[in-house]
Amino acid sequence: MTEERLQYYQTMLEAKLNSYLPETGPQQADVAAAMRYSLLEGGKRIRPILLLEFCRVCGGNPEKVLPFACAVEMIHTYSLIHDDLPCMDDDNMRRGRPSNHIMFGEASALLAGDALLTMAFEIMSGEEAVSAVGAERAIKAANILAFRAGAAGMIGGQQIDLMSEGRGITLDILRTMDEKKTGALISAACRMGCALAGAGAEKEEAAGRYAWAMGLAFQIVDDILDATGTEEELGKPVHSDAGRDKNTYVSFLGLSEASTEAQRLTKAAVDELDSFGAEATFLKELTEELCTRRK
Amino acid sequence: MTEERLQYYQTMLEAKLNSYLPETGPQQADVAAAMRYSLLEGGKRIRPILLLEFCRVCGGNPEKVLPFACAVEMIHTYSLIHDDLPCMDDDNMRRGRPSNHIMFGEASALLAGDALLTMAFEIMSGEEAVSAVGAERAIKAANILAFRAGAAGMIGGQQIDLMSEGRGITLDILRTMDEKKTGALISAACRMGCALAGAGAEKEEAAGRYAWAMGLAFQIVDDILDATGTEEELGKPVHSDAGRDKNTYVSFLGLSEASTEAQRLTKAAVDELDSFGAEATFLKELTEELCTRRK
């Protein structure tokens, strides 16, 4: 069942994302092509799926809020493009393919990121989104996303990452970094789903607590996979963290304790879903799957 | 009179912009400091002033729409920061001071730009903005801005700029580039002012035509100043266009014809303001001033 619904969501999302960035002409070396390259190929679409599913478990119609789900994925994608740039993490590979700036050059990658970030807000404030859920809910969703994608959230996490690379940081700082860098956007997606369905503040807070635990578990699993997986399995360079002398949950806790911590957080996340009732079964299964994944 | 109202607007804007980015602590080398550096020092604040004034001539209250004016200035500022980066124009100076990335490093400059872009939408979708003008107008204003700041507007202009540097382009392409790169954001500001005041589509279109002519005139004057001014007067390197073999209105038309074209467009812009009645006197004076400026 989990697999079927996942596919249903993924198919919807791919089609919708595709509709926002129509195929460009023969001239591929432009910003639109760079946007397509990173947005339309690869990616698990976890964040938009969480948005759609939280909307559904709160009684909303996922198909109506697709534009918002796409907006979240655009923000996620822009952050990866900018994060891979030479002045940031300087990563040449992403999802088993050359990074955006390797394919299109730094300038186009920079602009493609800027354009995806801007497009996310264009879509959420556009006619389709507003007529689907009304101006009040649409603008609330945009605000949830902007706040958590910004300097207090995702970008704040990038900054901690920048400042801590090559220096000794504590486990606490690592956790704060990941809460912001990864957790904030996951939190935005879950909260937006609730808000778009018109659920009250209580549900939104529960979704936020779920996202916090799930995001951290997800990140710990990421670190574990980086330490134990192969490049072939993951489609990206592995042991990159150790190679950079980067602090991770694995370097702090060791493999075994990191794994226990991931399990504890996964359980905490799943427990938060109880308040969403019987409809939350898919979300629980999805959470277990994501946090026990092997690639 | 022009001077007084300009100062009134500028004072309001500086205070409001400042309130969004409170002074950071002793640790200055972070993204917040980089955001402050570029947002809070220098700049003529033309775009936000146009927004406030178009709002006023359409019967709205400028003080109520300050958050939107600040959002426009944040978008403008982010575009300058990213534009100055080594992978783009590689400019070391801006407004008589070292560029953002020279002061804070490329990574922080990149993130500061991203954060300002995101903050613009956070503010427009935030409680203050929404309660001032209502969700409908707030989200419409955000949409006007997102569309014109994005790939179809400002970023599209940057892309043309990128692709044309060092190659021969035509005057038509130069004009299209400037319509997008400079004109789109000016157009957004003017249109947003009308929309936020609840003016109809007709007024918004007139504001758009004004912005088109004014933006182009402004850009031509910029090119003329780059060719004729001194670094001391302008606070930035001059003859930079010629040094890069960059196509400008001056290189296409010569100084005299470029100047005539600027005057023609300034008149066209001022004429568009007739439809806003007697209240538009300040806008007319401001337009004349901007398009005959000497620095």
Q: What is the ipTM of this complex?
A: 0.95
Q: How far is the alpha carbon of B4 from chain A, nearest alpha carbon, in Å?
A: 35
Average pLDDT, integer, range A122-147: 98
Q: Measuring CA to CA, which residue among A61, A71, A63, A95 is closest to residue A20? A: A71
Per the CB < 8 A criterion, the answer to whether A97 and A113 are in contact is no
A176-185, B22-31, B101-110, B284-293: which has the minimum mean pLDDT? B22-31
Mean pLDDT (chain A) is: 92
B residues 2-31 lying closer than 8 A (beta carbon) to A: 30-31
Which two tokens mark A154? 């995702």
Range with the largest mean pLDDT of A130-144, A169-183, B149-163: A130-144
A24-33, A264-273, B133-142: which has the minimum mean pLDDT? A24-33
CB contact, 8 Å: A117 with chain B? yes
Whether residue B242 has pLDDT greater than 70: no
Average pLDDT, integer, range B232-253: 73
Give the pLDDT of residue B20. Answer: 95
Q: What is the pTM of this model?
A: 0.95
Subunit contact A156:B105, Cβ cutoff 8 A: no
CB contact, 8 Å: A164 with chain B? no
A34-38, B24-28, B35-39, B53-57: which has the minimum mean pLDDT? B24-28
CB contact, 8 Å: A110 with chain B? yes
Whether residue A271 has pLDDT greater than 70: yes
Give the pLDDT of residue A95. Answer: 85
Q: Measuring CA to CA, which residue among A268, A249, A269, A267 is closest to residue A259? A: A249
Average pLDDT, integer, range A158-162: 91
Whether residue B57 has pLDDT greater than 60: yes
Give the pLDDT of residue A244. Answer: 63
Residues of B in contact with A82 (CB under 8 A): 110-111, 114
Query: What Rg do the C-alpha atoms of chain B give, in angstroms?
Result: 18
Give the pLDDT of residue A169. Answer: 87
Whether residue B70 has pLDDT greater than 60: yes
Whether residue A284 has pLDDT greater than 50: yes
- CA angle at residue A102 from B118 to A179, to 5 degrees? 40
For B106, name the nearest residue in chain A, comparing CA atoms only.
Answer: A87
Pick the residue with more confidence: B129 or B294?
B129
Distance CA A33, CA B168 (A): 23
Residue B28: pLDDT band (50, 70, 90) is very low
Subunit contact A158:B121, Cβ cutoff 8 A: no
Residue A259: pLDDT band (50, 70, 90) is very high
Give 3-state DSSP helix, strand, coil % of chain A, rounded to 5: 75, 0, 20
Pick the residue with more confidence: B219 or A240?
B219
Question: Measured between CB atoms, which of A32, A87, A111 is closest to B110?
Answer: A87
Query: What Rg do the C-alpha atoms of chain A give, in angstroms?
Result: 18
Q: How far is the alpha carbon of A270 from chain B, nearest alpha carbon, in Å?
A: 30
Per the CB < 8 A criterion, the answer to whether B109 and B81 are in contact is yes
Whether residue A231 has pLDDT greater than 90: no
Give the pLDDT of residue A28. Answer: 46
A51-88 pLDDT, tens digit per residue, is 999 999 999 999 999 999 999 999 999 999 999 999 99
Q: Measuring CA to CA, which residue among B99, B86, B87, B76 is closest to residue B237? A: B99
Give the pLDDT of residue B232. Answer: 65
Q: Mapping DSSP to helix (H, G, I), strand (E, B) and coil, where does residue B198 land?
A: coil
Give the pLDDT of residue B293. Answer: 82
Which two tokens mark B112? 């500061």
Question: Measured between CB atoms, which of B106, B117, B122 is closest to A117?
Answer: B117
Give the pLDDT of residue B111. Answer: 97
Which two tokens mark B177? 């580039």
Subunit contact B108:A159, Cβ cutoff 8 A: yes
Give the pLDDT of residue B24. Answer: 66
Mean pLDDT (chain B) is: 92
Q: Which amino acid is at B13?
A: L
Q: Mapping DSSP to helix (H, G, I), strand (E, B) and coil, where does residue A59 land?
A: coil
Distance CA B203, CA B208 (A): 9
Give the pLDDT of residue B239. Answer: 66
